[in-house]
């Protein structure tokens, strides 16, 4: 199979769809891998490393898109990139197509593209193995980002996250005790913050309570969320409902009762956002202020630790990628329900694609 690895063109996206070791494995199994010139530089991989692994370097986006039977991207394709795909081919990666513009979906349909969203791949136990490591990274980064945003020079309240003797630490509220929430709580506790975790799942709260001594746990409902937000210096919101838009759990009215210049981090923004006032931001301009509250709503948080994130992603995605390229796209989808669960379009026919509010790309 001809496999294309393009350079990511989305702003501040430094990750790449395949590492040199993966190219070597694919080449050894008889596949031809075309890598766009400079595709791996953001993650620290040179063209020479890819060539040594058996890949073929091409020098234009049109060539890597045009040669590929399947394109392995990291981030969702831009509109122009979708136009470069040959009709009837496939694209796979962390696509998040549910939050893309309708004209991009129309292109996938009209060109009969098969699109496989690795973030939607789901095992029988309900886990999402490819999404999990990136959620882990996002959760762990949340604490160090929040610590910086609390500084005066970043527009924050001038609070040291962990406090010191005689000065209490920051009050941190984590809404959602999934993978992001667990790792966010772990990092905030490690930095000395006082942490409260809310979730609707009692088992998840019991895990938090048993794992992290000193953490406060509460069942999540509008009353407990509103009260917790009102006393928080930092609120991290990470709520995921598989296949659909993230529900709004923090309303504008709740924000109005928060302390001025507190931080709210909407980690659910790549699924539409779980805060009523959220809108996508970028690593260049990561925050905005609404109702006196500093909002951080960057959809691709792990992209700034691109090497770690690329390796973590591909360690999880590799078994599925190998099955797809070795069996062929159609047979892999038929044989493996986990891969089938990630199919957003199949020869242009929509599957597992719940539409939500689009972002700005």
Q: How do the pLDDT tens digits run along the chain, 361 residues long?
A: 999 999 999 989 999 999 999 999 999 999 999 999 999 999 999 999 999 999 999 999 999 999 999 999 999 899 999 999 999 999 999 998 877 788 899 999 999 999 999 999 999 999 999 999 999 999 999 999 999 999 999 989 999 999 999 999 999 999 999 999 999 999 999 999 999 999 999 999 999 999 999 999 999 999 999 999 999 999 999 997 765 678 999 999 999 999 999 999 999 998 889 999 999 999 999 999 999 999 999 999 999 999 999 999 999 999 999 999 999 999 999 999 999 999 999 999 999 886 544 455 5
CA distances from 186 to 79, 132, 142, 192 (A): 38, 16, 10, 10
* Gap between the Cα atoms of 323 and 333, Å rounded: 9
pLDDT for 254 equals: 97
By the 8 A CB rule, do 39 and 16 touch?
yes
Please write the tens of the pLDDT for every residue from 212-232: 999 999 999 999 999 999 999
* 270 in active site: yes
pLDDT for 242 equals: 64
Q: Global pTM?
A: 0.91
Select from 48, 35, 46 the least CA-distant residue to 8.
Answer: 35
* Gap between the Cα atoms of 348 and 345, Å rounded: 5
pLDDT for 102 equals: 87
Strand 293-296 relative to strand 287-290, pairing: antiparallel
Residues of each domain in the chain carrying CATH 3.40.50.720: 2-121+308-350, 131-299
The CATH code that applies to domain 131-299 is: 3.40.50.720
Instruction: Return the number of other C-beta atoms located less than 10 Å from residue 181's C-beta.
Output: 26
Among 199, 233, 266, 270, which one carries the catalytic annotation?
A: 270
pLDDT for 51 equals: 98
Among 31, 96, 194, 352, which one carries the catalytic annotation?
A: 96
* 347 in active site: no
Looking up tokens 């006032």, which residue turns up? 277
CATH superfamily of 2-121+308-350: NAD(P)-binding Rossmann-like Domain (3.40.50.720)
By the 8 A CB rule, do 234 and 173 touch?
yes
Please write the tens of the pLDDT for every residue from 269-304: 988 899 999 999 999 999 999 999 999 999 999 999
């Amino acid at each position: 199979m001809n496999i294309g690895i393009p350079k990511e063109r989305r702003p501040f996206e430094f990750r790449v769809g395949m590492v040199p070791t993966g190219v070597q494995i694919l080449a050894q199994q008889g596949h031809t891998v075309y890598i766009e010139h400079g595709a791996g530089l953001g993650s620290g991989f040179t063209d020479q490393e890819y060539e040594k692994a058996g890949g073929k370097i091409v020098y234009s986006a049109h060539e890597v898109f045009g040669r590929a039977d399947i394109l392995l991207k990291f981030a969702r394709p831009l509109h122009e990139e979708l136009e470069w795909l040959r009709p009837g081919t496939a694209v796979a990666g962390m696509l998040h197509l549910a939050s893309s513009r309708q004209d991009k979906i129309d292109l996938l349909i009209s060109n009969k593209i098969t699109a496989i969203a690795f973030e939607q791949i789901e095992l029988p136990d309900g886990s999402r193995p490819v999404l999990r490591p990136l959620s882990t990274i996002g959760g762990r980064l949340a604490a160090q980002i929040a610590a910086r945003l609390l500084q005066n020079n970043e527009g924050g309240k001038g609070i040291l996250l962990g406090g010191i003797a005689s000065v209490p630490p920051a009050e941190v509220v984590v809404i959602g005790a999934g993978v992001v929430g667990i790792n966010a709580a772990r990092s905030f506790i490690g930095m000395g913050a006082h942490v409260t975790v809310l979730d609707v799942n009692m088992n998840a709260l019991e895990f938090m309570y048993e794992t992290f001594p000193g953490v406060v746990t509460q069942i999540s409902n509008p009353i407990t969320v509103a009260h917790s937000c009102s006393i928080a210096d930092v609120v991290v919101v990470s709520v995921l409902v598989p296949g659909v838009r993230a529900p709004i759990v923090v309303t504008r009215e709740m924000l109005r009762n928060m302390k001025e210049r507190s931080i709210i981090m909407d980690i659910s923004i790549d699924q539409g956002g779980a805060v009523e006032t959220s809108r996508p931001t970028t690593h260049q301009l990561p925050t905005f202020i609404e109702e006196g509250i500093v909002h951080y709503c960057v959809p691709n948080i792990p992209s700034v630790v691109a090497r770690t994130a690329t390796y973590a992603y591909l360690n999880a995605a590799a078994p599925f990628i190998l099955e797809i390229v070795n069996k062929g796209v159609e047979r892999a989808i038929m044989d493996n329900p986990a891969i089938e669960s990630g199919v957003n379009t199949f020869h242009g026919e929509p599957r597992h694609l719940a539409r939500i509010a689009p972002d700005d790309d």
